[in-house]
Structures are given as structure tokens and as C-alpha cells.
Amino acid sequence: MKDHITLEAFGQHAVLINWAAQLTLSHEIVAYLNWIEKKFPEEIQETVPAYHSAVIYLSVKVNVHFFIEKLKKYVPKISELKNQTNHFVFTIPVCYDQEFGLDIKEVSKVNDLSTLKLIELHTQPIYRVQFIGFLPGFPYLSGLREPLHTPRKENPRPFIEKGAVGIGGGQTGIYPVDSPGGWNIIGKTPVRLFDPHLEKPSLLRAGDYLKFESVTKVQFNLMELEVASGTFQINKKAYHD
Amino acid sequence: MIEVLKSGIYSSLQDLGRFGHRSSGVPLSGAMDLQSASWANHLVGNREMASVLEFTASGPVLKFMDEAYIAITGADFKPKVNGQQVHSNSLLKVEKGAVLSFTAPSIGLRGYLAIAGGFITEKVLGSTSFYNSITRQAQLTKGDLLRYDVQKKAPSGRIRTHFKPIGNGSNLFVDKGPEFNKLSSFFQDNLFITRFVVSSKSSRMAYVLEHKKRFYVEEIVTSAVQPGTVQLTPGGNVIVLMRDAQTTGGYGRILQLTEDSINLLAQKRAGEIITFKLNET
């Protein structure tokens, strides 16, 4: 771990950590952050992981330069980073019907695929949640199959409903809250990805995995009712390396 | 209770911010000018994290249904109670039925109203700060009712003697950001001699700074950003992230404002000039 991380001050109350890109998986970053948060509960306010980097936000009383020197001395052993967190594989139901998949025809056409093939390619991979950012609860996912890569729309929509599933360039994702947006919308999930009234407001966390599952409009409508009444059970399995 | 007779251009309740949820993509939020907000709370004897009313450019018109002890800080909005001018930056008693109004300030942009006992408002994820998709409303609208804990006695012993005006300089103090060294040395030097103009596109999320240079830095792999981060887009736009900023971003982070400079910038309005100064501490 020591060889491929660099630490630097990011303003007066934050430390930016960069990992050598190819060597690090998101759950390793999350494990390191959990470990370091436990080591310095007084000094650390919160941490935010991203691709190959993370920022540690410090309490205002902490001198960032002293803290970096201290951090350099704390290099975790591989064994200490094991079992820091539990990660899950979520199954996210998506209705790819044209009523929700506003751009599914366009995306099929651009990539020269049938709609069925598009759905097959989108539901095959197990995507990794790299981190949450951009919007409350918005997952940055990796694993979108190359034939589905589609440029963002030239004119972003002023309003995209929460639950919309989209493709933007080489990425796929789910809008957790209503928002403007420029991604191509191919479907919608009834699952609530973000609920500010829960202690952990984001369903997904960095290091988790997810798989999309195609559902019919009838199933979608039923699930939406279950979500509204609080009886919906999401399919969630523990992830093992 | 307070009835909002007019909302003003953009008024919201804010506290110190929503900490601990940035890894879920939840913005920090909180008062744009935290120094003025904290001082308003201090004047009425509240704790620093109590919710205050933040208003922008034009103030709201508020009717007090009960008596209240209040303090108004920030830009000079020339507050009036029932048409009579009253003091900013001091503890005021407002009688039941009184109407509080403001005049657009000649210097500064944001004003703060703190009320002894504090506003009673929904707390979501540990904070009362308004934010779209987190709290029920993002800003106040006409007819809203603000509840507060009515105090029958004046708060005592908390009056600070020295007056803390909003900053009026044009220098924003900064540290080098993570991508500063990716700028050419020509651009590095230029950043500190350019006079930037605050754009009218500025908001609680970000300030846009206009200039005639052609600064360039390449985009980065998405990484965390914070209030005060100065981003440079590939098109050369300079953006300063403010309290409602998203938690991650893909533009080069060339500078990072100090906390005092975020407060100072929060009081700048469209057309004002600012310059960056490297923090020497």
C-alpha cells in the first residue's frame, strides 16, 4: 500500500490521497479509509472516496501538515485491511419499456443493436460501485460493455425523474433524485437509491456491486407500489472476493 | 411564528452545514458567509450551529406573530421595523405584530437573521440547512410560516463589543490546489495578476469568474471537491465552488480558498472584481 499512495494538503483542512491508478480497486480504497477513520476519530471529520483518490476532511483544529506527517507513519498491514467493511451485490430491477426508456431506440440505433440485444448487454455485467458523487446517492459504476458506450445528449434535459437509468459516454448510472441531465435514458428502476430520512441515506456505497435485471411494466408497477408502502425487499447478497 | 409576507430573491434557513454524508454525495450546504451567520447567533445568545435565515440581494418582508429577540448581520440591508430604521449587528427586541423589512444593500450580498431560542425546523441528516432533494423546500416562499422558540426574557451576557463588518477587500487568499502544478508556469503567474469579474451566473453552488485570458488545464479523473475549490474547465472557465457544491468533480482543481475568503466571496455580487493572493502562512 505504502508504495503507491501519495498524500498532499488540499487547502488547510483536507488531505488528498492519490493511489497509483492500475493497482487499486475501490474496495481497497474504502478499506483504507475505514481503517484510517478508526485510527484518528478525533482528527477526521469524514472521508470521500473517488476513482483512485480520496479526500480526508479534517476537524478545523487539526494542522493539515502535521497530520500528513503522522499519516505517513501509519501504513496498514494487508491483514489489517481485511474485513473492514461488508460489501453487497444488489439486483436492481429496471423496466426498459419505451415509456421509461426515452432514448432506448436512439441508443440502439446509434450502436446498431436491437433493443433486446441492448437490454441483454446492459443486464449481463456485474457493475462495481466506484464511489457516490455528482448528486446525492448517485453511483459511479464501472463495467459498461463497450458496444453500449454512447455520447451524452447534445441538449441536456432540464428534468430527469429519479430512478431513470442512463448511459453517458462509457458510463452507466441511475439518477437517485430528480435532476437535469445529459445522459441517454434507457429505463427506470422503482428502487429508491437515496432516502434522506434514513441514517445511511444512500442505498449503494463505494465498493458495492450491482446487476440490472429487466422487468416488465406490470412488475415495475407492482414494485413501485411495494416501494411506496415500504414492503419492497431488494435482492442483496454479501459479496465475497 | 413569523409569516413570510415576501420571500425576497433567495431566502433559506441555514446552519453550519450537513457533515458526515459527503461520501453519499450529499453537499455540505450551510450559511454562505459563515462568519456573519455565526455572529448573528452569538448576538442573540444562540449556539453557533443554530439555524439562521439567510437572504440574498433583496431581503424578505416578515411579520412577527409573537415577540422575539433578533439580530441582523451580514451586508447592510438597512432593516426597518414597522417602517422605522433599526440597527444591524445588535440585539433587537421585536414586538408582537411587527413587520420587518429591508432595503437592498449598497455593499455586500447576503444578510442573516438569527432569533433567540432558534428557528424550529426539520433536521435532515443532522442539519437544518435547506437543500433541494434533501429538505422539503429549497427556499422560502410567500406565505411560509417560520416557527421559533419564543423567549420572554432577553438573552444576557453575550454581547460582544467589537463589531465584525463583512470583508470589503477584493483579495481572495488561496492555497495551491492539487492540479496547480499542471498549469503552465505562464498561467500560474497570470492567475495572480488577473482581475476576475464575478458573473451573474453565480449561486449558492458556485461562483463563476469572468476573465479574458485563455487559461488551460486538462480534465481530471473525477475526484473529491469542497467549498472553496477553484476549478478550471477545459473551455477556460474559472469556477469557485461554494457551500452547496457537489462532492466530486472532473475539472482541474487549481486553487483552494481559505475559509475567510469563502465568506468574503459569498458577499460579492455580479460585476465586482476579485484577485487571487497566495496564502503565505
How far is residue A144 CA from its own chain's centroid?
Answer: 13
Instruction: Give the model confidence (pLDDT) of B226-249 as tens digits.
Output: 999 999 998 899 999 999 999 999
Q: How far is CA B82 from CA A91, B124, B167, B279, in A?
A: 60, 35, 29, 46
Q: Which residues of chain A make contact with B20, given a CB cutoff of 8 A? A: 45-46
Q: How far is B135 from chain A (nearest CA, A)?
A: 8
Instruction: Give the model confidence (pLDDT) of A55-80 as tens digits.
Output: 999 999 999 999 999 999 887 777 77
Extract the runs of DSSP E, i.e. beta strands, from A68-219.
Answer: 88-94, 127-132, 139-142, 157-160, 164-168, 171-174, 179-181, 184-188, 209-214
d(CA B67, CA B64): 7
Residues of chain A with pLDDT > 90, as a percent, come to 79
Burial of B141 (0-12, 13-18, 19+ CB in 10 A): exposed
**Mean pLDDT over each residue of chain A, to the nearest integer:** 92
d(CA A222, CA A225): 5
Q: Which residues of chain A make contact with B258, given a CB cutoff of 8 A? A: 11-12
Report strand pairing: A88-94 vs A209-214.
parallel
Report strand pairing: A209-214 vs B10-14.
unpaired
Q: Is A50–B257 a contact, with Cβ atoms under 8 angstroms apart? A: no
Closest residue of chain A to B246, computed from CA coordinates: A134
Contacts with B263 (C-beta within 8 Å, 6 or more apart), sequence order: B32, B33, B34, B35, B36, B166, B167
d(CA B86, CA B70): 11
d(CA A110, CA A187): 17
Q: How far is A141 from chain B (nearest CA, A)?
A: 12
Instruction: Give the model confidence (pLDDT) of A5-48 as tens digits.
Output: 899 999 999 999 998 866 567 778 898 999 999 999 999 999 99
Which pLDDT score, from 0 to 100, does residue A4 have?
A: 77
SS3 B9: coil
Q: How far is B250 from chain A (nearest CA, A)?
A: 10
A22 vs A113: which has the higher pLDDT: A113
pLDDT category at A3 given cuts 50, 70, 90 is low
Q: Which residues of chain B make contact with A48, given a CB cutoff of 8 A? A: 22-23, 224, 247-248
As a whole number of Å, the CA-based R_g of chain B is 20
CA-closest candidate to residue B114, choices B162, B161, B79, B157: B79
Beta bridge partners of B209: B198, B238
pTM equals 0.94
d(CA A34, CA A28): 10
Instruction: Give the model confidence (pLDDT) of B61-103 as tens digits.
Output: 999 999 999 999 999 999 999 999 999 999 999 999 999 999 9
Q: Determine contact: B30 vs chain A, CB below 8 A.
A: no
Q: How far apart are the first and last CA of chain B?
A: 46
Closest residue of chain B to A8, computed from CA coordinates: B178
Q: Which residues of A95-127 are buried (b: 16+ CB within 10 A; e: fewer)?
A: bbeeebbbbbeebbeebebebeebbebbbebeb
**Segments of chain B scoring below 70 in pLDDT:** 157-164, 281
